[in-house]
Structure 1
């Protein structure tokens, strides 16, 4: 009986920790990798990072796409001080280094396989209380 109580206490504590994550903290976990994590196999960057950051997990569908920004969090916070565009999103003042992960194939069930692209682009975010909470997309600077 004591083992069951201990097990339940640990599970509830873990759930409370996950529930205590702010939207900004979730944004950082899912989208900021600075400095860029080097993996043993560069072609496995997306699969490794998405699993490590708990974006994908066994029993959940694969996320169709995710972007990791390889810049300090302050560079994304700076976007929140910019004027919003017509859709209400704000953009980073300069292009940032990033890895865009896109799901390969049509199957959305694990194991998830991704294609990675290295880019230098501006990042569009939704902000709340002066902090980025949603990555809305990326775009190349107009020529």
Structure 2
């Protein structure tokens, strides 16, 4: 019985931590992987990272796309001090290394299978209180 109480307490603690996650912390969890996490098979990077970061989970649909930026949180926060565009979004001054994950085949049922592309793009973010809270997209550097 004591084991069950300990398990219940751990689950409640984990849930309260997830519920207390700020938008910035969620942004970091879902989109920042710095330095880039090494994986044994490069083509498994997206599946591994999305599961490890809690973006995909058993019983939940697969996320159609997700981008991991391989730059420091400080570098991404620096974009928030740049002037916003007409949509209110901020772009990084430099192109940053990233991995773009796209769901293969479009079926959002588990198991999730992704295609990974390594890119060097500018990152567009929405900011709140000087911190990035939403990855709005990326764009290639000008030729």
Look up the match of 2:25: 25
Look up the match of 1:90: 90
Segments of structure 2 that go 5 or more residues without pairing to the other structure are none
User: 1:39-118 counterparts in 2 under 5 A?
Assistant: 39-118=39-118
In structure 2, how many angstroms separate the alpha carbons of the residues matched to 1:4 and 1:41? Answer: 38
Segments of structure 1 that go 5 or more residues without pairing to the other structure are none
SS state at 1:67 partner: strand
Please report how far the alpha carbon of residue 13 of structure 1 lies from its aligned counterpart in structure 2 after TM superposition. Answer: 1.2
Look up the match of 1:130: 130
SS state at 1:46 partner: helix
SS state at 1:106 partner: coil
Question: How many residues align structurally?
Answer: 143
Please report how far the alpha carbon of residue 2 of structure 1 lies from its aligned counterpart in structure 2 after TM superposition. Answer: 4.7
RMSD value, Cα? 1.2
Could you give the per-residue CA deviations for residues 80-122 of structure 1, whole angstroms, max 9, x where no partner exists?
0000011110000110000000000021011000000000000
